[in-house]
Amino acid sequence: MARQQLHVFYVGRVQGVGFRYTTKIVAQGFEVTGTVRNLSDGRVEMIAEGERSELESFRKAIQDSDVGIFIRQEQAAWNEAKNCFRGFEIVR
C-alpha cells in the first residue's frame, strides 16, 4: 500500500489543554510519523504520514481521546506522503 499524508488543522480550545502531548502519546500506538504544533492563530496543525487506514484510525483515536472534547472543527486534506519524518514529534 502507498503511504499517504494527512494534514489536519484543529480548531477549538486546542491550545493549553495538552493537545500536542496527547497527540504524540496517541501516535505511539500507530504506525505513523509526523509532527504536531501550535499555530499563532489558536489552531493546532498536525501532519502525519502512513497507510491511509492507519491514519484514519489515528485521527479517530485523537477524536476519542481526552482532548477530543476541545475540537470544534477539523480541516483535513490528504496528499501523497513525502517520507520526510522520523517518528512523531511536537514542533515548538
Residue 44: give the domain boundaries. 3-83
Residue length of the chain: 92
Q: How many domains does the chain have?
A: 1
Give residue 2's pLDDT.
Answer: 86
Put simply, whether the predicted model's pTM sits higher than 0.75 gets the answer yes
Strand partners, 77: 7
CATH number at residue 25: 3.30.70.100
With respect to residue 89, please indicate whether it lies within any of the assigned structural domains.
no
Given the residues 3, 37, 38, 52, the one annotated as active site: 38
Residue ranges in the chain modelled with pLDDT below 70: 1
> Is the torsion defined by CA of 81, 13, 22, 54 positive or negative?
negative
Establish if 91 belongs to a structural domain.
Answer: no
In a domain, 90, yes or no: no
Quick one: CA dihedral 5, 9, 14, 15, positive or negative?
positive
User: Tens of pLDDT along 33-54?
Assistant: 999 999 999 999 999 999 999 9
Domain membership of residue 46 (yes or no) is yes
Domain contains 88 = no
C-alpha cell, 84: 520526510
Q: Is 13 a catalytic residue?
A: no
In-domain check, residue 22: yes
Does any domain span residue 41? yes
Catalytic residue among 20, 43, 59, 72: 20
Give catalytic status of residue 79 as yes or no.
Answer: no
